[in-house]
Structures are given as C-alpha cells and as structure tokens.
Structure 1
Amino acid sequence: MALITLNRTSAVMMSQTLIKVALPDDIGPGEKLPTVWLLHGLGDDGTVWQRKVPVEQYAVDHHWAIVMPGFDRSFYMNMAYGSPYGDYLEKELLPAMRNLLPLAAAPAVNWLVGNSMGGYGALRLAFLHPRWFSAVAVMSAVADLNSVLPIMPDHEAVFGPDDQELPTAQLAALVANAERPAVHRLRFYQTVGADDGFRPANDALMKLLTTKYGLHIDYHVDPGTHSWRYWREHLPTVLDWLAAGRG
C-alpha cells in the first residue's frame, strides 16, 4: 500500500496546495484506478483521514485510489473573503490529479464521500456536476448551512457580509437548479447519528430530496453523535456500499 503527499502550486488558488492520496501497490501497466474523492469537515484538513482511519488499507482492500484534498474552512466554495476554493475544486483539482496519477475519469468509477462540512461539499459538487460521478455518500452532513453559524465565528468570510451568499449556497437551492436526469442517475447514501445535533436538518434534507425531487436516498440513522467515533465506524460501510453498486 502507499500513501503519498502532493504539494503543488495551484493556478487557481495562486498558492501551494496539499493533497494526500492512498493507492494500492499493485497497479498494472496502463491501469486507471476507481477513485474516491474524500472530503473533510470543518476544522480539519486532508491529512485527518490518515490520522483517524486506516485509509491506506481501504485503498488496498478495494483496489481504489482515495484522494484527500485540503479545503480549509471554505465549505468547498469560493469564499467571500478568502480563496476561490470552489473554482479550484470544480476546474482544477480533478483533472490535475488525473494528469499526475493513474486515476480513472469515467463517472461510473468516480465517487464523492464526505463528513460534516465535507458531506455538504460532496452533495454540493454532485448537484453542480452530476455527470462527473455515479455516487455520493455523506456522513453527518451539514445539511442546512444555518446550523453552523453559531459554531463558526468566521462564517462571513465564506458567505459574505450578513451571510448574503448563504441562501443560494444551501443544498435545497442547489438541487433545485441541478440537471434533473443526471441527478436521478446518481446513487445517494446518507447516514447520521441518532444524537447528532445535525440530525433534524439531515432528516429534512432527505425528505426534501425524496418527496419533492424523487431521488432515492439510502438513509441510515444509527446510534452516535457528531464525532470521529461515528465516522470511523461508518466509513467502511460507506465504502462497501460504493463497491456493491459497481456491478
């Protein structure tokens, strides 16, 4: 197994970026690997996955690449007062990684996974570009951006003065403008702890996506809170779910 660190200068960000990638050892000549784009939560960075879970072993077990970029506290969008993380994600990161590493580009073998803020980011990217992926799985997602304002003193750095950009950044607004046939082809997995403070917003998002937009969500509420204990326990299940849907 291999865990590599990539430091590269981003043309979009105009700064150095750090990306962790877990790879299996036995990559055949010309082989292109299925890829999980694993997005971190608020207050973490791309290194958190290697520190909290056996991410290298997951790459070996499934024979996948697992890409773990760092997105600071940006919510995976262009910050009002900060860096253009949204453009970096949507325009640069994926093709850059595929140029550097043997990653498959086919949507059927590209999947989004994230926890907390990363769960929001995974759903955001899936709704903006549903043709790029075949599945998205989120754990304890920030399903309503209003829920993070009390715990995020720098929220205006992302959403602008008086959070003026927040309404259009809500997942409910993004799915309303998403390409319907392409979104309906996606597989969705959503899990949240029974005692997670974000559970009511997750319940509401699941209901909206299933009743108003007719999406099928593989939805799970299990014992737990908004914590790494919960995510450590559930990431293997998420990855197995992705693998089971490949056929």
Structure 2
Amino acid sequence: MALLHVDFFSDVLGMCMQMDVILPQQTNGQIGMEGKGVPGKIPTLYLLHGMSDDHTIWQRRTSIERYVSDLGIAVVMPTTHLAWYTDMAWGNRYFAFISKELPEICRSFFANLSDRREDTFVAGLSMGGYGALKLGLSASETFGMAASLSGGLDVASICKNITEEEEKHYWQGIFGPLERVEGSTNDLFAEAKRLKESGKPLPKIYMWCGTEDFLYDHNVRMKEHLTKLSYDLTYEESPGDHQWKYWDEKIQSVLEWIVKNRNNGI
C-alpha cells in the first residue's frame, strides 16, 4: 500500500484542505501483509471523521491501511472540520466540496481511480455517519454504497432539543433556523423519502450502532424508516457505546460488506 498526505486547494471552500489517501500496491515481500494491485480502475472508499477529529484519525485509531491491503480499494480520508458535511447556513459549502469537488480532485490527482458509481463508496462514524448517509441519499448518482457507524442521523431531533444559547449559535450556523431543519435537505429522513419517490438510483446502506450508544435511538428510527421505504439495508447492532474499539472492529465489517455487494453487483 501507498499512504499519501495531500495538501491541496479547494475552489469551492476557497482555502487549502488536507486528506490522507491509501492507494493499492501489488507487493510480495512485506512482512505480515500482502498488497493487492488492481488491473483496471480502482474502487474508492471516502472515509469520514467525527466531530472531534480530522483526516488523520482513521490512521491513528484503526489499522485501516492493513485492513484494505488485500482488497484493491483506495481510501480517501478528508478533513471537513465541524460543518456536518453540509452547505452551511452561515459558512462554507462543505457538501458541494465533498459530494462533487473532492471526487473530481481525487480523480485528477490519481487517474486510476474509477469514476463509476458502482465503484464509489462512503463510510463514516458519528458526525461522519451522518455525512455518509447524506452523501448516499443526496448524491446517489455518485455514491453507490453508504455506511454509517454510530451515526448522528436525526439532526432535526438534535436541533429541537438544544437549549443553551452558545450551542444554538453553533447549530444555527450550520443548519440555519433550528425549527426549519425538519423536512429540509439536511433531514436524512426527508431525503430518504424524496430519493425513493424520485426514481433515481438508491444506494445500498449499511448501519451499525452500539446498544449503549447515546445515538442508538437515532439509528433504530432510521433503520425503521429505511426498511419501510424498502431500501437495501444491512443493519447491525451489538453491545457497545461511542468509542473507537467498536469502530475499529466494525469498519472491517463495512469493508466485507462493500466487497460482497460489489462482487454481487449493485
């Protein structure tokens, strides 16, 4: 595998950004790890961070490079700050950046990355779980599979329960008037319904959450909603709360799910 630390400029955001990128490499002599090359275009997983983290966190908290070494998958880990992967009400257009500009930039830097929807996946944890499903539901023409681990999936309910003025300022800066989040393009429940009714291609979706996680109810409600809408959903839960020892384990399940579904066609 090759690990690249990339500093680049985003025209959409008007500033320099960072991402870590793992690229497949055919190797035979690495101790304890076998690298797999790809004869054609390379499938790509965009792997998103949570609120307290950045583009380095998956490298620091998991063995993601080792997990993908024999899968022939590239992994793009961007930093997206605290914007919840949205076009902010008062701020930058992070959704436009990550849904459209970032894939274009990556494919221009690394010409072997596939541009096929069937080869483009997104996953994330917590805030990144929200981002992953948002990309899957709101940019389904680009992302064929989306996976959420311990996702903060019901931002409308989060916003309804905010009482501290300082907190309100933060959330309003992202989503605008908090009473208008429900039903908006930032409401994943509404986006899932709109996409289903649109006739556009639906992403395959994977979800996992620990039963002791403070976001567990979000995940149960989303599971029920997506099931009712007849999405192709793989849902798992198990004992656990909001911490890396579970995400390190479950990202391996996400990778297995991606490989299985890609081999079966999406």
**TM superposition score normalised by structure 2:** 0.85
SS of 1:78's equivalent in the other structure is coil
SS of 1:245's equivalent in the other structure is helix
53-62 vs 23-32, which moves further: 23-32
RMSD across aligned C-alpha pairs, in angstroms?
2.1
2 CA distance for matches of 1:30 and 1:191? Answer: 32
- The answer to whether structure 1 residue 182 and structure 2 residue 191 are counterparts is no
User: Per-residue deviation at 1:59?
Assistant: 2.9
Residues 15-50 of structure 1, C-alpha deviations (whole Å, 9 max, x = no match): 001011011223869742111011111121111111
Q: Residue in 1 aligned with 2:254?
A: 238
SS of 1:87's equivalent in the other structure is helix
Q: Residue in 2 aligned with 1:111?
A: 121
2:239 maps to which of 215, 223, 243: 223
2:103 maps to which of 53, 71, 94: 94
- The answer to whether structure 1 residue 171 and structure 2 residue 181 are counterparts is no
Structure with the higher helix share, 1 or 2: 1
Gaps of 5+ in 1: none
1:64 maps to which of 69, 73, 77: 73
User: Per-residue deviation at 1:182?
Assistant: 3.5
- The answer to whether structure 1 residue 3 and structure 2 residue 6 are counterparts is no
**Which aligned pairs between 1:126-205 and structure 2 lie closer than 5 A?**
126-145=136-155, 146-147=157-158, 150=162, 153=167, 154-160=170-176, 162-163=177-178, 166-167=181-182, 168=184, 169-178=186-195, 180=197, 181-184=199-202, 186-205=203-222
Q: Residue in 2 aligned with 1:207?
A: 224
- Residue pair 1:127, 1:183 contacting (<8 A) in 2 also: no
Residues 36-87 of structure 1, C-alpha deviations (whole Å, 9 max, x = no match): 0111111211111111111221231211100001111111111122221112
1 CA distance for matches of 2:103 and 2:60? Answer: 23
**Which aligned pairs between 1:16-95 and structure 2 lie closer than 5 A?**
16-26=16-26, 31-95=40-104
Letter in 1 for 2:217: P
User: Per-residue deviation at 1:133?
Assistant: 2.4
User: Per-residue deviation at 1:144?
Assistant: 0.7
1 CA distance for matches of 2:50 and 2:61? Answer: 13
26-35 vs 138-147, which moves further: 26-35
2 CA distance for matches of 1:78 and 1:165? Answer: 15
Do the aligned partners of residues 192 and 11 (structure 1) sit closer, same or farther apart at CA in structure 2, a change above 3 Å counting? same
SS of 1:89's equivalent in the other structure is helix
Structure 1 runs of 4+ with >4 Å offset: 27-30, 148-152
- Residue pair 1:77, 1:84 contacting (<8 A) in 2 also: yes
1 CA distance for matches of 2:143 and 2:38? Answer: 24
- Residue pair 1:13, 1:85 contacting (<8 A) in 2 also: yes
Letter in 2 for 1:147: I
User: Per-residue deviation at 1:131?
Assistant: 2.3
Residues 103-131 of structure 1, C-alpha deviations (whole Å, 9 max, x = no match): 11111111111111111111111111212
**TM superposition score normalised by structure 1:** 0.91
Residues 224-244 of structure 1, C-alpha deviations (whole Å, 9 max, x = no match): 001111101111111011111
**When the two structures are aligned, how many residues end up with a matched partner?**
244
2 CA distance for matches of 1:46 and 1:69? Answer: 5
SS of 1:143's equivalent in the other structure is coil
Quick one: percent identity of the two aligned structures? Answer: 31
User: Per-residue deviation at 1:147?
Assistant: 3.0
